[in-house]
C-alpha cells in the first residue's frame, strides 16, 4: 500500500488577512479569511470578489478559487478577467411619461419597463395562463 494524500486534503498554508478591523469598505474580512482558507461562510458578491482576488494573488488555480468561494468556474474566469470588479446588479429603469395611464396595470404600458409596469405585466400574464388552464381543464 502506498500512503498518500487526497487532492485538496494536504497541508496548506494559512493565508492571514489583516483583521485588525473586522469590516473594511463593507466587507466582512473575517468571513473572507475563513473562505480563503477553505472554510465556510456566507459571502456577498463583493466579499467573494475580494476572496477571489486574494486567492489569485497567491497563484491558486481558478478551479480551486471557484470551489472555495462557491461560484461557477465561468463566473470566476469572467470576474478575474474583469479585474475582480463585481458586476452591478440590474439597474431599475426610470418610469416613462405615459400620460394619464397608471403604471403597473396589466401589460406593458406604452413600452414602459419600470418595476411597477413589469410586475403588472407579469401578474397579468400569470392570470391569463391560469384562466387558460381552467378553460382547458373544464
Model pLDDT for residues 54-108, shown as the tens digit of each residue: 999 989 999 999 999 999 999 999 999 989 987 776 666 666 666 666 666 655 5
Same domain as 136, residue 97 = yes
State how many domains the chain has: 2
Q: Is residue 3 part of a domain?
A: no
C-alpha cell at 78: 469572467
Same domain as 99, residue 75 = no
Instruction: Kindly indicate the confidence band of residue 5, based on its pLDDT and cuts at 50, 70 and 90.
Output: very low
Give me the helix-helix angle, 45-57 and 62-69, nearest 10°: 150
Residue 35 scores a pLDDT above 60 = yes
Average pLDDT of span 32-60 = 88
Same domain as 98, residue 50 = no
Same domain as 129, residue 96 = yes
Same domain as 74, residue 43 = yes
Q: Collect all residues with Cβ–Cβ distance below 8 Å to 66 and sequence separation of at least 6.
A: 72, 73, 75, 76
Q: Is residue 16 part of a domain?
A: no
> Could you tell me if 31 and 24 are in contact, meaning their C-beta atoms sit under 8 angstroms apart?
no
Average pLDDT of span 2-8 = 51
Give pLDDT, residue 110: 63
> Could you tell me if 117 and 103 are in contact, meaning their C-beta atoms sit under 8 angstroms apart?
yes
For the chain, percent of residues with pLDDT exceeding 70? 64
Kindly compute the dihedral angle of the four CA atoms of residues 83, 84, 88, 89, in this order, to the nearest 10 degrees. 140
State the Cα–Cα distance between residues 103 and 94, nearest whole angstrom.
11
C-alpha cell at 40: 465556510
Range of the domain at 120: 91-138
Q: Is residue 86 part of a domain?
A: no
Give pLDDT, residue 94: 65
27: three-class secondary structure by DSSP: strand
Residue 43 scores a pLDDT above 50 = yes
Instruction: Kindly indicate the confidence band of residue 119, based on its pLDDT and cuts at 50, 70 and 90.
Output: confident
Give pLDDT, residue 115: 76
> Could you tell me if 57 and 26 are in contact, meaning their C-beta atoms sit under 8 angstroms apart?
no
Same domain as 68, residue 38 = yes
Q: Is residue 5 part of a domain?
A: no
Q: Is residue 10 part of a domain?
A: no
Amino acid at each position: 500500500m502506498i500512503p498518500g494524500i487526497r487532492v485538496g486534503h494536504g497541508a496548506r498554508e494559512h493565508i492571514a488577512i489583516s483583521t485588525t478591523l473586522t469590516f473594511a469598505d463593507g466587507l466582512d474580512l473575517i468571513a473572507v479569511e475563513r473562505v480563503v482558507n477553505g472554510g465556510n461562510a456566507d459571502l456577498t458578491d463583493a466579499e467573494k470578489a475580494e476572496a477571489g482576488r486574494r486567492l489569485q494573488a497567491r497563484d491558486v488555480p481558478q478551479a480551486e478559487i471557484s470551489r472555495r468561494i462557491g461560484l461557477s468556474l465561468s463566473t470566476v474566469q469572467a470576474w478575474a478577467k474583469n479585474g475582480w470588479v463585481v458586476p452591478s446588479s440590474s439597474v431599475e429603469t426610470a418610469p416613462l411619461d405615459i400620460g394619464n395611464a397608471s403604471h403597473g396595470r396589466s401589460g406593458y404600458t406604452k413600452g414602459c419597463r419600470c418595476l411597477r409596469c413589469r410586475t403588472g405585466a407579469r401578474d397579468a400574464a400569470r392570470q391569463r395562463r391560469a384562466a387558460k388552464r381552467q378553460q382547458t381543464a373544464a
